[in-house]
Amino acid sequence: MHTLADIATRFGLELRGDATVTIIGVNTLADAKSDQISFLANTIYRAQLATTRAAAVVLAEKDVAMVTGAALVSRNPYADFARIAALFERCEPASPGIHPSAVIAADAVIDASARISAYCVIGARSRIAAGAELGPGCVIGNDCDIGAHARLVARVTLVARVKIGSRVLIHPGAVLGADGFGLAFDQGAWLKVPQLGGVVVGDDCEIGANTTIDRGALGDTVLEDDVRLDNQIQIGHNVRIGAHTAIAGCAAIAGSTRIGRHCLIAGGAGIIGHLEIADRVTVGAMSLVTHDLREPGEYVSGTPIQPKREWRKNAARFGQLDQLARRVRKLLGERNDE
């Protein structure tokens, strides 16, 4: 249990309002009760400041006037709210040790402070560092390294030659280090190209549920530190992703593309192979990147959603757009090429 005063002090926030209220949790503006803290970080919820019953709201100075109860003034309300919320997270620390059902290669090295849960399988020459936790059903192949305090929640697979940094968090169903999709067409059929590289994941990365990261064909697929991947993302072989880049669900990056630092790739976006994406590039939802993006900024492809009746007419015209443009040039007395 924490008073508002405790919380303000602990996180260096300026409190405006009754400091003695006891706080037992956090919640949204809409659902907060009088002993919970809420926050405002997305302006579409600003109107809810007038009606929230929250004991206090973490918000920016500019929004303080709109709140009716107590305010915790923050320069970064979402980050400070995250820190406060962590106070109320139910943590059931995993005890170290190796479950008797785990199948571990004779030459694997497991730190005594690591936890290996039921039905994990760990391959030859793999190493699990201090404080790392493998939840139930993880399969770790040969020549893998799992860093200190990394956590594989459950049913994570590292196929071979996958190095995971410290404090990396990997959600269930993720598969790292599967063969890249390398095929040569020869004499009427596909020939598999050996995938000889590995995967290297930096410190503090997070990898979502059912996300796949293939190992390199030659050299490694690399995530630098603090890369954050949501669920069901596909990362092709030999991709490199710069530090602090975040990628939302269902995005896909094809082989050998290099993405800069501090990029934001929205959900369902695609980036074809062998491209260079600069630092601080933002790619819109379901946009497809087909050439290098050398300047920071926001990039988008696609068309707006419309009622089908209208869309159908416009889409049909898209199929004749070149012709339309030529006719306009003609009307303007300009020459059409070709």
| Residues in contact with a copy of itself, shown as a per-residue x/- string from 239 to 278 under the rule CB under 8 A | -----x-x-xxx-x-x------------xx-x-x-x----
Task: Answer yes or no whether residue 337 interacts with a copy of itself by CB under 8 A.
Answer: no
Site for a copy of itself in 143-202 (CB under 8 A): 153-155, 157, 159, 169, 171-173, 175, 178-179, 181-186, 188-194, 196
Residue with the two structure tokens 């809409």: 30
> Are 232 and 208 a contacting pair, CB within 8 Å?
yes
Cβ 70 to a copy of itself, closest distance in Å? Answer: 18
> Which CB, 67 or 204, lies closer to a copy of itself?
204
Task: Answer yes or no whether residue 231 interacts with a copy of itself by CB under 8 A.
Answer: yes
Site for a copy of itself in 4-43 (CB under 8 A): 25-28, 31, 41-42
Beta bridge partners of 213: 176, 235
CA separation for the pair 230, 264 (Å, rounded): 12
> Which CB, 22 or 78, lies closer to a copy of itself?
78
Q: Residue 122, SS3?
A: strand
Task: Determine how many CB atoms are found less than 10 A away from the CB of residue 41.
Answer: 17
Task: Answer yes or no whether residue 307 interacts with a copy of itself by CB under 8 A.
Answer: yes
Cβ 141 to a copy of itself, closest distance in Å? Answer: 8
Long-range contacts of 78-86 (CB under 8 A, 24+ apart): 78/39, 78/41, 80/11, 80/13, 80/39, 81/26, 81/37, 81/38, 81/39, 81/41, 83/11, 84/7, 84/11, 84/26, 84/37, 84/58, 85/26
237 is catalytic: yes
CA separation for the pair 94, 107 (Å, rounded): 25
| Residues in contact with a copy of itself, shown as a per-residue x/- string from 45 to 74 under the rule CB under 8 A | ------------------------------
Task: Answer yes or no whether residue 86 interacts with a copy of itself by CB under 8 A.
Answer: yes
CA separation for the pair 31, 49 (Å, rounded): 12
Given 133, 145, 206, 224, the residue binding a copy of itself (CB under 8 A): 206
Residues 6+ apart with CB under 8 A from 326: 336
CA separation for the pair 167, 132 (Å, rounded): 8
Task: Answer yes or no whether residue 117 interacts with a copy of itself by CB under 8 A.
Answer: yes
Cβ 31 to a copy of itself, closest distance in Å? Answer: 6
> Which CB, 127 or 237, lies closer to a copy of itself?
237
What residues are annotated to the active site?
A: 237
